[in-house]
Structure 1
C-alpha cells in the first residue's frame, strides 16, 4: 500500500486550520501564539503564570575592582592633599582610574545572566536565560505580547 492523497467525501468539512503567529524566531528560542519553544522544551502559553525577570550576579572581576577603587579613595585623596606634588597627582590618578576602567571593561565583557522565570504547571521554572541583553529583551517582549494576545481563560 502506498501513501497517497485521498479526496474528502463530498459534504464533509475539513477541520479548521489554526494559524500560527510568530512573535519571535531565533536560533535557540521561538515564541508563537501558542507555545514558547526553547532548545530543550516547549511550554504552552496558556499554562504560564507569574512571568518575571531576574538578573544573575555580577562577574567577580567587576566586584573586586569596584571594591578596590572604593577602598583606595579614602586613602589616596588625603595623601595627595598633604603631599601636593605632580607625581602624587599622577600616582593618585592611576590608582583610582585603573580599577574603575577594569570594572567597566569587565562589566561589558562579562554581563550578568538574565533569566525569564514563570510558574508552569505548578512549578517555578527558568524558561529562558541569556547573557545577551538585546536578545533577552526581544524574547521577553515577544512572550509578553503573545501572553497578552491569548483569549481570556
Structure 2
C-alpha cells in the first residue's frame, strides 16, 4: 500500500482516505465517485468597519456645504476613503474553508475540509494521485 500524504489531519494511501477528525472518517478510494473541490467563506458577518464607514459618509455629507479650504476637503476625502479601504481589505482577507466532496456508497459526503490552503492542496493532490492509480479513467471533477 503506497502512502501519498501523511499528516496530523489526514492520511491518503492507495487504498484509503482517512480524515483525522472527531470521529475519524475513513473512505475506500475505490468507492469514491465524483470527487470535487468547493470553497466557502467562513465568516459571513459584516466587517467591523461598516458602522465607522456609515458614520464617516453621513458626517461628510452633513458638513460638505461648510467646506471651503483644501484642508477640509482633504479631511472629507480621507473620512470616506479610509473606511472604504478597510472594508475592501476585510473582504479580501476573510477566511475561506476548502472542502473535498464526493459520492461515497451512493451518498454525498465531505471527505476533508480545512481553512489552511497549503495543507488542503497537499491533501487534494495526494487524493488525486491515489484516484488516478486506482481508477484508470478517474472520477475527479472541479
- TM-score norm. by structure 1 comes to 0.66
**87, 94, 99: which is aligned to 1:115?**
99
| Partner residue in 2 for 1:100 | 85
1:94 and 1:135, CA in 2 relative to 1: closer, same or farther beyond 3 A?
farther
Give the match's secondary structure for 2:131.
helix
Query: Which residue of the partner structure matches residue 141 of structure 1?
Result: 125
Give matches, 1:19-30, under 5 Å: 20-30=1-11
Whether 1:88 and 2:69 are equivalent positions in the alignment is no
Which structure has the larger Rg over C-alpha atoms?
A: 1
> Which one has a larger percent strand, Structure 1 or Structure 2?
2
Structure 1 gap ranges (5+): 1-19
C-alpha distance in 1 between matches for 2:70 and 2:35: 57
In the TM superposition, what is the alpha-carbon distance from 1:41 to its structure 2 partner?
1.3
More displaced, 86-95 or 132-141? 86-95
Corresponding residue to 1:34 among 15, 33, 43: 15
| Partners of 1:129 and 1:122 in 2: CA distance | 20
Q: RMSD between aligned alpha carbons?
A: 3.3
Bigger RCO of structures 1 and 2 (CA < 8 A, at least 6 apart): 2
TM-aligned CA distance change 1:32 to 1:144, over 3 Å: same
> Aligned-pair distance for 1:65?
6.7
Query: Who is 1:47 aligned against?
Result: 31
Q: For residues 67 and 32 of structure 1, do their structure 2 counterparts lie closer, same or farther at Cα, with a shift above 3 Å needed? A: same
**8 Å contact kept, 2:36–2:100:** yes
